[in-house]
Chain A
Amino acid sequence: MTGTRIRVRFAKHGKVRFTSHRDVARIWERSLRRAAVPVVYSAGFSPRPKIAFGLALPTGYSSDAEYLDAEVDPAWAAGIDNERLVGALTASLPTGMTTLAAAEIASGEPSLQHAVTSCTWRIDAAGADATEASEAVSRAMDAGELLVQRERKGRLTIDDIRPAVHAVEVQANITDGVRLIAELATQPRAVRPAELLASLRPPPGGRAAGERFVPVPPSLLRACRLHQWITTDAGERREPLAVSELGERREPPAVSEASVVGAGVGP
């Protein structure tokens, strides 16, 4: 059976952020069953519920912009109220996961994996110095290339991520550290917040060569995905599913001493 496609936007915060992408998929399968949402199953020898997840969120990061598409029984979908569905789904999710929006999408709508072109991240680097950070970000944005070492299928490669770094804003008013708001591309390969930080270099002669501008061990780096963006052929940017009231719910943006580098940072 071909089902009606519904898209769900959800948040992931707190303890549950330590679950992996695969864990989240399993959590959703079970939560949808607990909420008695009639998800359509695939045919074949081992029928699976038809649920597609978007970009993987690195384990340990939180998010206000996770998505999934599920195919559900059309008869059921016809009689469901989106707001009630959002409430029912949140009730069946574990603590820390919240459904923010749900809506039917057109059957021809491209999959999340293909459609999403960039993400806005909030990155908190404890212990980093604001002035140094701003300078490092300026240098990075001015540089012709930003090289990072990556592991791909067990082999180390050096990639230039500069084209994928659309914008970075430095905010310095958080306690003991620096907050970056960064828009990073997801195509052809998603740049992770940790990779952005690894690419930021200290000023020439300021620190030992090769050392990062912020001595951030992974445990002190906290990141939250604020948005995922789809750039249309016409060059317009939109979210896979907008959450109108989300802006008020989130903490107010920090402004003082903020130095804006680049352009096009999300709202």
Chain B
Amino acid sequence: MKSGNNAEQDSVDSFCTARASLLKEQVIKTVFFCTAFLAVIVVIFILLFLLRDGYPIFGEVGVIPFLFGMTWAPTAMEPLFGIFPLIVGTLLVTLGAMVFAVPLSIGCAIYISELASPRVKQALKPAIELLAGIPSVVYGFFGLIVLTNFIRVTFDVSSGETWLAASLLLGVMALPTIISVSEDAISSVPHEYKEGSLAIGATRWQTISRVLVPAALSGIAAAVILGIGRVVGETMAVLMVAGNAGIIPEPLWNILSPVRTLTATLGIEMGEVSIGSEHYSALFGIAVVLLVITLVINLSAVAILRHLKQGRTSASARKPLIPQTMIESLIPFAKAAGLVLVLLFLLIAAPWWLTALALLAGGIWYYAKDRVSEKHIQTIAFCLVGLAALIVLAILVIILQDIVINGLPAISWEFLTQPPKDLGRAGGIFPAIVGTLYLVLGAIAIALPLGVGAAIYLVEYTREGRITKVIRSGVDLLNGTPSIVFGLFGFAFIVLYLNVGVSLLAGQITLALMVLPTVIRTTEESLKNIPQSLREGSLALGATRWQTISRVVIPPAVPGIVTGAILSIGRAAGETAPIMFTAVVFSSRFLPDSIFEPVMALPYHLFILATNVPGSSTNKYGTALVLLLLVIGFYAVAIVIRTHFRNKTRG
């Protein structure tokens, strides 16, 4: 009798605990859902606030005059708000950057995936990651000091701050994106295609050019689109070298004319505009236009890549998003159009020696086409592809050595531990170093829990469906948003609307929103890498979902999550645009007392030194070097962790 009572009691107890744990599971799930949905909310808020502040200008000027007006003169006696020259400037800079970057990147990608020996590959890949890790303000600084000077001397013009300089610099910045994505696309072409082609007796180059590259074409297209997205959204580098005259080049192909992009306009004018004025509203109008352009670009790239991934996993869905036949039928047109453009350029604009050279090359090609053996074509092609890789490497070396050699003399104990004097010409950068660390640590402290929570929700709690689709689109949109747009949003929403003021906190939140997609993605990746059998093993023992996640799934995923977090810190540390209007001051002798005070930051300090303070040469280079080392240091730690644990799991 007694024992029976006990048993009853037990079952009641276990029923209660079961209910309690069920409730707990429900609560946990809801919390994760909220973190995941935050990405969507942020996107909506960004759109709302840009539109709210930008709307008046569309009302006053009208959409068409705003978009197609020929003059941008916001501070004139009778201000004009036509952004057409800015749109054209953005397009031209992007076009130039792609003309330079696309052939170089594809050549380099082919070299890495097909020709490089494993050892060379191991050296090249980190080099390209390094190129991606250099902060844009450091690129801008290098461009301003070295590149524009080079152009000024070479072309004998009065100023090197030109369309050409902007395109070259942004082309370099787009290289790592295009190289890594297209290398990935070429490497993941099934090995059987390669064997099949070689077994027929095709040369390696024929196999590459006629089988591998065509099979990877949509991946390469996505890579180029992502590169374009990067270029269109770039602010700091372009504003430092483009000359920023709001004109359409005259004639249109005059690459030595200064241009002004949409992003540069925001970067230059946002700091000086009076809040609530027509000009202020026009700047937000520009941000809306910019956001729409970059979103369209990035979403199309994401769509292509996602489709490819699905095609790779399920054989039935091999049909590409853009039908292969369509791409291929477009090729002859593209070729013809390219030829016509080149001819026009040669006839109208090019100097005579270039025309002669091109005609000569064309003549040789026409003559030699059918007379040269495949072997020789292969040798020439391999040389060109190798040259592309070499050029990319050389660019990296040139930039690094310039900054290291000129920056090292500035580095001293005093430089690292003293506040700046004489507008940064003398003294140190201590407050800027501390400010940057405060900013990124705060940003990651905010972004990490939110991002990890969102990733856990996406991977562990839901099946793919409508909700995940919405959330993923939100993350993609956030990822494609230019950093200057985050800056404007942070200013309008956090600084003004929430009345936080220009402060450390506002900067931290803005940066956190910016790196959120990176954290979500890397966490998602590392969670997906945990084998399903582990989860099943735990669930089969009667563990709840949360127990399984917290004890079985997350521990082995920690290295991946940490890597993602450190990469995000590195990225945040180098950013200028998002903190420019939300968190920083140029000169401060003191460290902030609370999170409601503004701070100094390395990237912004470098930007001001480089553009507004003449005669601070050593300290500029010193600041650039410290910033570079800081960012690269974060990346290096992340890479070391990644390789360490990758080797470990491989055993």
* A and B: interacting chains: no
B contacts, CB < 8 Å to A: none
